Structure 1
Amino acid sequence: MDLLPFDEYVAQLPRKRMAAGVLLRSVDGRILLVEPSYKPTWDIPGGSVDADEAPWATARRELREELGLDRPMNTVLVIDHEHAANGYPEAMVWVFDGGILDDSEHLHPTDEEIVSVGLYHLDEVSGKLKPALARRLSVAAGVAARGGPLALCDDGVRRTP
């Protein structure tokens, strides 16, 4: 069997996009959503994982950049395989538990990419979210409420064993 030289082998390996977000909740179960200026749908704080950056570091960085909040990202709620769609390549999307928001935390955007921020029940904003994100957040909220275990999803649909 002929093996490729190492550099050629590595160059042909598939590449996947990665993103990480943070699920923050109110005491009454609402989820913190942000309205980005650069796309029509709302999201949770988060973004693309940079080269040589761990997903948990991305989630923490994006939360700090977008809302001025700094929290450790120690608990993964969901890892979702997002299929290629609308010109975007497939991705692995991580959702971390940002915990319960304290009433004293003033929520306001600290990044010009974010137009507004608020706490919402998912049924109030389903039309403002990409369907896969709405499904992913529903699974993540359930995992957070139960205290785990983390869920594996395909386009926001929880995988069953």
Structure 2
Amino acid sequence: MTTRPQPGTAAWEAHLAEGNAKQARKRVSADVLFRDEAGRVLLVKPTYKEAWDLPGGMAEANESPQDAARRELSEELGLSAQLRGLLCVDWVAPHGPWDDQLAFIFDGGTLTAQETASLRPRDHELSACEFFSSDDALRQLPPRTRRRAAQALSVLTDQSTRYLENGEAIG
């Protein structure tokens, strides 16, 4: 019979590390909903996808979703944004070759005319960035992202953060 290591010992830390290594890992994405002064929504055109997307991207290991969003905005658009809070978090079921994922959308607020004028892709992952009316923006997005973005836009009106599963509000 194996005895459990005592807390605070090197053996205890090794025991915890072994458990941590065996636990499930989730992919995490962090996107941001920006508007311009006319209320239009900012979308980006990734070079590695066919459809438009919200600005943001995947979190790196041990990076918070909010920090991931800020890093991606800086790398891809040269934006240093003050995020205004969480609009929604969506659990996305496994699909295709991908495991499940947690997808966060943060409120980036309204960009000034000066910020929008200087907006352009800053790295090879984006080919374009453009503002669209809310309806047109939703039409540009693939279905999974469209559902999530529609929920995020609704939160702007009713101020009630949402938990989603596959883009549908739960509870």
Q: TM-score, normalised by structure 2?
A: 0.84
**Number of residue pairs aligned between Structure 1 and Structure 2:** 159
**Alpha-carbon distance, 1:7 to partner:** 4.1
Aligned-partner Cα distance in 2 for 1:41–1:64: 21
User: Which residue pairs with 1:34 in the alignment?
Assistant: 44
Q: What RMSD over aligned residues (CA atoms) do the two structures have, in Å?
A: 2.1
1:123 corresponds in structure 2 to 135
Q: Flag as ranges the 4+ runs of structure 1 deviating above 6 A.
A: none
Counting helix residues as a fraction of each chain, which structure ranks higher? Answer: 2
Give the gaps of 5 or more residues in structure 2: 5-14
**Within-5 A mapping of 1:6-155:** 6-105=16-115, 106=117, 107-146=119-158, 148-155=159-166
In structure 2, relative to structure 1, the CA distance for the partners of 1:83 and 1:100 (3 Å cut) is same
Q: SS state of the match for residue 124, structure 2?
A: coil
Deviations 1:16-66 (A, max 9, x none): 111101110123332100000011121111111111211100101111111
Q: Which runs of 5+ in 1 are unaligned?
A: none
Q: Please give the secondary structure, in 2, of the residue aligned with 1:104.
A: helix
With the length of structure 1 as denominator, give the TM-score of the two structures. 0.89
Q: Is the 8 A contact 2:83 2:109 kept in 1?
A: no
